[in-house]
């Protein structure tokens, strides 16, 4: 954007643009393949960078009165409401409003694209704290509003937003001394103030309006070193343009007032008959010497003839060709296939401004070209002049905008910082400050369950991760379950297998000596079944070792409950058989039919309980992180606590019945009676499981499982050794006692001993009674 002035000042760059337009028109008129039936012409008017002057020149132009014009942005906005031009330099995004400017087109990219590129650049350097200023105008307001919208996605905050008046007074200048984005003419005052205050270390960001302006470098190169800015796309070369620009001679400069003024300003001389009355550089124009007529543009440097940075000139060149191709398309239009009402065509010699927009050209729906910017860096060349080095580019034709940076920026990014608050170091997180922008914050240590593993970023931990002591990275939590690979799991596994082997070994011994009186004495079939079920109980302990899974949990608890129900049922059946055999006095009683060697009746209820449990709320695996924050306990949860305690309760009921029956049958006068051994085994069983309950409730993790396995093994070994160890001792070490004669003799001796005991009790009673009688 340019500053406004009521005085027209000469610009060598603007003259180059005029000459580029003339060059393109002449080039097209000389072609036979483009507009062969038409010739292009031109009128040039001067806007003086002032809206009223521009409108006056425009009215003179449309009414056929000749004056001179040049325009940009707000000037273009005023012009565009009257005619339908193709602009080469107006970049304001406000001109993309199709309601206000329905026929407007331009070869200059809209500022909307440049602002997106600026937001990406700010994000690249990590600048999150920026101040936004602009002249009090729609142009600046559009630009700042769009920048705020674009930059918020990169976490950029506005430290302030300030609009200053067009007439930049000293108080307004004082407010702008720390601000970058101001118009080019204000930069001189601003940089002078910065130099006066000795403010250093600033990183300048240039918009395309001054990204390639060498005038500032000549006076303030020491302060502007390293400036970054986006420049519109440069043409490497426009064939023939340089020759056209430098072909001016003193003989033809009188053809245009612009050329005459350029010649006088370039060579600091005065032409005869010149209309130039301006005073430049503090000297009086009329004090200049007359031009000699031997001046040559190749002997001096001028922005007019400098074709190393053909950017705006390239836009002018494209604008002329845009009009030419639009007229060419009009010439080839056929009635019935045209783009206008009723498929009509426009007359290329008498067309309306709005008809140009209907011709298919390479613009978007707003009449804007696709933006492509070069990212320029201001560096000092060996001779001290400005070297504009391309260090990146921005291409808006990609879906989300595409920016490439050179390796040089990796070093430049370390030079400048612009943040309200430094990024939080690892191990800490952001704490927002009340009432301040989101870029202003304090850093506090990460809370429990949080970690920040790279600067400025913190994340919540997953249930399977734990933070290290300084909370700057995650570490996996310890996973705990009773494994086969740890010592406790190995020991329990060996004991389970050993118990099953001992049970099967005893079964083999009993099967081998199945015809002996000792084996046949106490319901041999039930003994065999009991040893099989005890071996199953030992092996059930293996289901509690290893990583729990849903299917393992659903097998574990029912297998435990049913196997022990079968064992206790066998003992209960053995005890009931003996008790009923000796206590039943009813001939032909059916009691033996119900309490015979088949122990299926009692565990059937346990099977039903387990089925109901599995169908309603079955056990399943669970990752427990509540017991200890640093440990994940993989455990089997019962699903239904009622189901679990019903299984244990039913085993307890069977054990109580078995203990009661065995206690009643403990003194039966029979050599084959096992009631005493069963009673003792049930006492051990009760001791184990009564101790198990409080320990099971109060522990967690693998120790709970170990306690459960220990209870299974202790109760199974208690049953195995109390009932079968004495018999194995006789079978293997005292075989002479395993005979029918010995056992009958022992039975008789036991009966005699029993009789003597009864008689002694009676004798004592008689003696006491007699003694009492004598005392009377």
Q: Over the stretch 762-775, which tens digit does the pLDDT of each residue have?
A: 444 444 444 444 44
**Residues making up the chain, counted from first to last:** 776
Reported confidence tier of residue 491, pLDDT bands at 50, 70, 90 = very high
Write down the pLDDT at residue 184.
46
User: Any idea which of 38-42, 337-341, 562-566, 748-752 has the lowest mean pLDDT?
Assistant: 748-752
The predicted-structure confidence for 175-189, as pLDDT tens digits, reads as follows: 555 554 344 455 566
Q: Using CA of residue 222, residue 223, residue 228, residue 234, what is the dihedral sign?
A: negative
CA distance 487 to 361: 81
Query: What's the rounded Cα separation, in Å, for the pair 197 and 199?
Result: 6
Q: Give the mean model confidence (pLDDT) for residues 285-302.
A: 84
User: Among the listed ranges 153-157, 474-478, 680-684, which one has the minimum average pLDDT value?
Assistant: 474-478
Residues 531-536, mean pLDDT to the nearest whole number: 92
Q: At 155, is the pLDDT very low, low, confident or very high (cuts 50, 70, 90)? A: confident
Mean pLDDT of 284-291: 78
What b-and-e string marks burial along 603-640, b requiring 16 or more CB atoms within 10 Å of the CB? Answer: beebeebbeebbeeebbbbeeeeeeeeeebbbbbebbb
**119-134 burial by CB neighbour count: b if 16+ within 10 A, else e?**
bbbbbebbbbbbebbb
Single pTM value for the model:
0.56
Nearest CA-CA partner of 152 in 558, 396, 427, 438: 438
Q: 164 pairs with which residues across the strands?
A: 135
Helical ranges in 63-183 per DSSP H: 74-80, 111-125, 138-151, 170-175
3-state secondary structure 308-333: CCECHHHHHHHHHHHHHHHHHHHHHC
Predicted confidence (pLDDT) at residue 552 exceeds the cutoff of 80: yes
pLDDT beyond 60 at 73: no
Question: Residue written as tokens 């001791």?
Answer: 687
Neighbours of 207 (CB within 10 A): 21
Q: Are 171 and 143 in contact (CB under 8 A)?
A: no
pLDDT category at 7 given cuts 50, 70, 90 is low
pLDDT of residue 81: 43
For the record, the structure tokens of 590 come out as: 């059916």
pLDDT, averaged across the chain: 78
Per cent of the chain over pLDDT 90 is 17
pLDDT in tens, 438-489: 888 898 888 777 777 766 566 666 667 777 777 777 778 888 889 999 999 9
Give the angle subtended at the CA of 333 by the CAs of 327 and 337, to the nearest 5°: 145
Rg (CA), the chain: 53
**Quick one: pLDDT at residue 574?**
81
CA distance 573 to 324: 112
Task: Please give the sequence-ordered ranges of beta strands (E in DSSP) within 167-318, or none if there are none.
Answer: 205-206, 228-232
pLDDT value of residue 78: 45
The answer on pLDDT for 228 being more than 80 is: yes
- Contact between 135 and 166 (Cβ < 8 Å): yes
Task: Tell me the Ramachandran region of residue 199: left when phi exceeds 0, alpha when psi lies from -120 to 50, beta otherwise.
Answer: beta
Tokens of 501: 């082997």
Percentage of the chain lying above the pLDDT 70 cut = 76
Which pLDDT band, with edges at 50, 70 and 90, does 282 fall under? very low
- Comparing C-alpha atoms, which of 544, 597, 540, 543 is closest to residue 563? 540
* Residue 432, helix vs strand vs coil: strand
Output the pLDDT for position 696: 80
């Amino acid at each position: 954007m340019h500053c406004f002035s009521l005085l027209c000042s000469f610009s060598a760059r603007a003259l180059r643009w005029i000459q580029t337009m003339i060059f393109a028109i002449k080039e097209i008129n000389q072609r036979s393949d483009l507009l062969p039936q038409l010739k292009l012409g031109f009128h040039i008017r001067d806007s003086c960078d002032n809206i009223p002057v521009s409108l006056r020149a425009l009215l003179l132009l449309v009414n056929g009165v000749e004056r001179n014009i040049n325009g940009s942005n707000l000037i273009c906005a005023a012009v565009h409401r009257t005619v339908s031009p193709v602009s080469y330099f107006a970049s304001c995004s406000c001109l993309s409003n199709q309601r206000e400017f329905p026929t407007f087109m331009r070869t200059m990219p809209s500022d909307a694209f440049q602002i997106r590129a600026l937001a990406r650049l700010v994000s690249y350097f990590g600048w999150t704290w920026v101040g936004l200023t602009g002249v009090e105008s729609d142009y600046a307001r559009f630009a700042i509003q769009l920048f705020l919208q674009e930059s918020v996605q990169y976490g950029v905050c506005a430290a302030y937003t300030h609009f200053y008046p067009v007439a930049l007074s000293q108080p307004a200048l004082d407010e702008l001394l720390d601000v970058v984005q101001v118009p080019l003419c204000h930069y001189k005052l601003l940089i002078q103030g910065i130099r006066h205050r000795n403010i250093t270390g600033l990183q300048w960001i240039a918009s395309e309006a001054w990204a390639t302006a060498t005038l500032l470098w000549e006076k303030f190169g020491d302060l502007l070193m390293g400036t970054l800015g986006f420049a519109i796309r440069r043409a490497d070369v426009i064939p023939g343009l340089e020759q056209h620009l430098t072909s001016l001679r003193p003989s033809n400069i009188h053809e245009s007032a612009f050329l005459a003024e350029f010649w006088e300003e370039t060579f600091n001389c005065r032409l005869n008959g010149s209309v130039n009355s301006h005073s430049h550089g503090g000297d009086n124009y009329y004090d200049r010497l007359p031009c000699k007529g031997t001046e040559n543009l190749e002997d001096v440097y001028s922005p007019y003839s400098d074709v190393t940075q053909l950017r705006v000139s390239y836009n002018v060149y494209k604008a002329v060709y845009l009009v030419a191709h639009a007229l060419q398309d009009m010439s080839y239009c056929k009635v019935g296939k045209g783009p206008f009402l009723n498929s009509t065509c426009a007359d290329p010699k008498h067309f309306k401004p709005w008809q140009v927009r209907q011709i298919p050209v390479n613009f978007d729906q707003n009449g804007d070209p696709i933006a492509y910017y070069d990212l320029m860096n201001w560096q000092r060349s060996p001779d001290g002049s400005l070297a504009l080095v391309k260090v990146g580019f921005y291409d808006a034709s990609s879906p989300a905008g595409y920016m490439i940076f050179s390796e040089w920026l990796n070093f430049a990014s370390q030079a400048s910082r612009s943040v309200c608050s430094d990024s939080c170091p690892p191990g800490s997180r952001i704490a927002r400050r009340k009432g301040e922008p989101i870029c202003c914050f304090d850093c506090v240590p990460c809370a429990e369950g949080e970690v920040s593993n790279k600067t400025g970023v913190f994340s919540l931990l997953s249930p399977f991760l734990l933070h290290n002591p300084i909370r700057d990275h995650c570490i996996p939590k310890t996973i705990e379950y009773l494994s086969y690979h740890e010592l406790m799991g190995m020991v329990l596994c060996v004991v389970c297998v050993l118990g099953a082997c001992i049970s099967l070994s005893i079964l083999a011994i009993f099967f081998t000596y199945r015809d002996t009186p000792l084996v046949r004495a106490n319901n041999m079939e039930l003994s065999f079944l009991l040893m099989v079920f005890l071996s199953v109980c030992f092996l059930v302990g293996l289901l509690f070792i290893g990583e729990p899974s849903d299917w393992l949990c659903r097998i574990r608890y029912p297998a435990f409950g049913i196997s022990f129900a079968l064992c206790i049922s066998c003992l209960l059946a053995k005890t009931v058989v003996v008790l009923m055999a000796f206590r039943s006095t009813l001939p032909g009683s059916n009691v033996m039919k119900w309490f015979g060697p088949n122990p299926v009746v009692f565990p059937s209820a346990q099977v039903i309980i387990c089925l109901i449990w599995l169908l309603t709320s079955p056990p399943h695996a669970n990752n427990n992180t509540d017991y200890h924050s640093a440990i994940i306990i993989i455990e089997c949860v019962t699903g239904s606590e009622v189901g679990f305690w019903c299984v244990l309760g039913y085993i307890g009921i069977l054990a109580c019945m078995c203990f009661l029956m065995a206690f009643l049958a403990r003194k039966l006068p029979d050599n084959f009676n096992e009631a005493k051994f069963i009673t003792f085994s049930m006492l051990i069983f009760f001791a184990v499981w009564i101790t198990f309950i409080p320990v099971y409730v109060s522990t967690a993790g693998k120790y709970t499982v170990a306690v459960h396995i220990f209870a299974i093994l202790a109760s199974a070994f208690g049953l195995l050794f109390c009932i079968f160890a004495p018999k194995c001792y006789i079978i293997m070490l005292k075989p002479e006692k395993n005979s029918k004669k010995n056992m009958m003799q022992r039975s008789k001796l036991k009966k005699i001993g029993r009789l003597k005991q009864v008689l002694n009790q009676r004798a004592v009673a008689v003696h006491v009674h007699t003694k009492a009688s004598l005392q009377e």
